[in-house]
Structures are given as structure tokens and as C-alpha cells.
Amino acid sequence: MNKGFFNTLPKLPEVRKEDADMAWLIYDLKPPKNQGGHYELFRERTIYTRFEPALNQITKSRPGKMEDFMRQLQEKVDEKRETPPTNRTIENPLDS
């Protein structure tokens, strides 16, 4: 697996090699030693995990901040409106 992609995953619960169901082989590229050379693929590290705990960690949703969600939602609603919102308060809507 590419190192950059692996680093986007949540921290996986590691176990000893003997107790592992899976081995995550983390690869990266080394820049060329001389100009005009080729990048070299190398294994940076190996991480051992159990299958189910790793799957649960990867698929577990992590909620964001409520304020960010509400702001994004309001922006989407505002984009769909034909006229800007009226932000005045009606004191007593039942008063004639």
C-alpha cells in the first residue's frame, strides 16, 4: 500500500506478527540519486493487525463538528434560493 494513502487511514491496532491475520506492506518512492535517474520503490515498514479490529477501525465513521455541518448545509440551501433570505423577525405573526 502507498505510504501517503496509508497515512490517511485511522491508526490501526497493531499486534505481534504471530497473532496477525493481516500484514500491511507500506511502500514509498525514493527519489533518484542522480539527475535523470528513476524513482525506486521500497518497502518502508510492515504493520501487523487482526482483520476484524482493523476493518472496524477503518469503517468507523468519525463525526465532524456540528457548526461546520450547519454552515455547509446553509450554504447549499442559500445556493438554491432565487432571492436572498429575509432575516427579519416577525414579532407577532397572529396580530392583525
The pLDDT tens digits for 35-68 are 888 899 999 999 999 999 999 988 887 778 888 8
Closest CA to 46 of 12, 83, 10, 80: 12
Contacts of 20 (CB under 8 A, 6+ apart): 48, 49, 50
pLDDT tens figures, 67-86 = 888 889 888 888 877 766 66
Would you call 69 helix, strand, or coil by DSSP? helix
**13 in a structural domain:** yes
**46 in a structural domain:** yes
**37 in a structural domain:** yes
- Looking at the whole model, is its pTM more than 0.75? no
**89 in a structural domain:** no
Better-predicted residue by pLDDT, 10 or 85: 10
Measured in whole angstroms, the distance separating CA 77 from the mean position of its chain's CA atoms is 25
Number of domains in the chain: 1
Q: Where are the beta strands (DSSP E) in the chain?
A: 22-30, 40-49
**90 in a structural domain:** no
Instruction: Residue 68: give the domain boundaries.
Output: 3-80
**87 in a structural domain:** no
**17 in a structural domain:** yes
